[in-house]
């Protein structure tokens, strides 16, 4: 049974302006208001599995030490709690549908799947493959999440409790980036597949 788990987070994004707060944490409730929960419950028997709240967003650009990402402690705390809740739901026989939130929430499901041999299809308008080796200082996990889950990030992020990489690079694929994505070429050399949106729209479903 599908279990809808809300994970409202904005921790992995840059502030929209100095001192501002991104609005992505509002997404799960916006989807509820749009009828997603009700439709899934009526049509496939989905259940509401509650929510895993993230910590408070802080614009710490002016005081964050080198070698740390924005809101790092809050992200790691949220990741651990989200992974634990996903583990519980899977153990109860459910298929979790996690609704964020910015892209940094990928870390929670990936940590929950670590060691299982599971694969990942990353569907996004960006590859989110920025990392220390390719982009100098890293800062916002929302643009670095795919690199992090395949082991290319700061150890505190990509090797939590010694469990990284959470997904083997050759078991991960990206679909949907723009043709001018600056990290697509590197991602294509590391991941099992990278399919830009322009190519995906031309593919026959049988070729995808």
The tens digit of pLDDT for each residue in 73-120 reads 999 999 999 999 999 999 999 999 999 999 999 999 999 999 999 999
Does this model's pTM top 0.85? My answer is yes
What pLDDT score was predicted for residue 1?
A: 95
Q: What is the full DSSP assignment across 49-93? A: EEE---------TTTPPTT--TTHHHHHHHHHHHHHHHHHHHHTT
Tokens of 205: 């479903």
What pLDDT score was predicted for residue 200?
A: 80
What pLDDT score was predicted for residue 63?
A: 86
Read off the pLDDT of each residue in 160-180 and give the average, rounded to a whole number.
98
The tens digit of pLDDT for each residue in 46-77 reads 999 999 999 999 988 888 888 899 999 999 99
Whether the per-residue pLDDT at 138 is higher than 90: the answer is no
Whether the per-residue pLDDT at 203 is higher than 70: the answer is no
Top-tier CATH class for 2-200: alpha beta
% of the chain at pLDDT higher than 90: 86
* Cis peptide, bond prior to residue 165, ω within 30 of zero: yes
Contacting residues for 94 by C-beta, under 8 A, at least 6 apart: 1, 2, 3, 47, 49
Whether the per-residue pLDDT at 178 is higher than 60: the answer is yes
Contacting residues for 151 by C-beta, under 8 A, at least 6 apart: 158, 159, 164, 165, 166, 169
């Amino acid at each position: 049974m599908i279990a809808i788990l809300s994970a409202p987070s904005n921790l992995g994004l840059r502030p929209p302006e100095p001192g501002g707060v991104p609005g992505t944490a509002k997404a799960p409730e916006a989807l509820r208001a749009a009828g997603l929960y009700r439709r899934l419950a009526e049509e496939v028997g989905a259940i509401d599995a509650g929510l895993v709240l993230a910590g408070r967003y802080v614009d710490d650009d002016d005081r964050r030490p080198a070698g740390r990402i924005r809101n790092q402690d809050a992200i790691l705390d949220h990741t651990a709690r989200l992974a634990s809740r996903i583990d519980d739901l899977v153990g109860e026989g459910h298929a979790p549908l996690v609704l964020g939130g910015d892209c940094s929430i990928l870390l929670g499901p990936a940590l929950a799947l670590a060691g299982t041999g599971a694969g990942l299809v990353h569907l996004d308008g960006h590859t989110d493959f920025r990392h220390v080796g390719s982009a100098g200082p890293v800062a916002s996990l929302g643009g670095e999440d795919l690199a992090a889950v395949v082991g290319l990030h700061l150890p505190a992020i990509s090797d939590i409790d010694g469990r990284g990489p959470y997904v083997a690079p050759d078991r991960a694929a990206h679909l949907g980036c723009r043709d001018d994505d600056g990290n697509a070429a590197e991602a294509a050399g590391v991941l099992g597949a990278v399919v830009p949106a322009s190519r995906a729209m031309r593919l026959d479903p049988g070729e995808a």
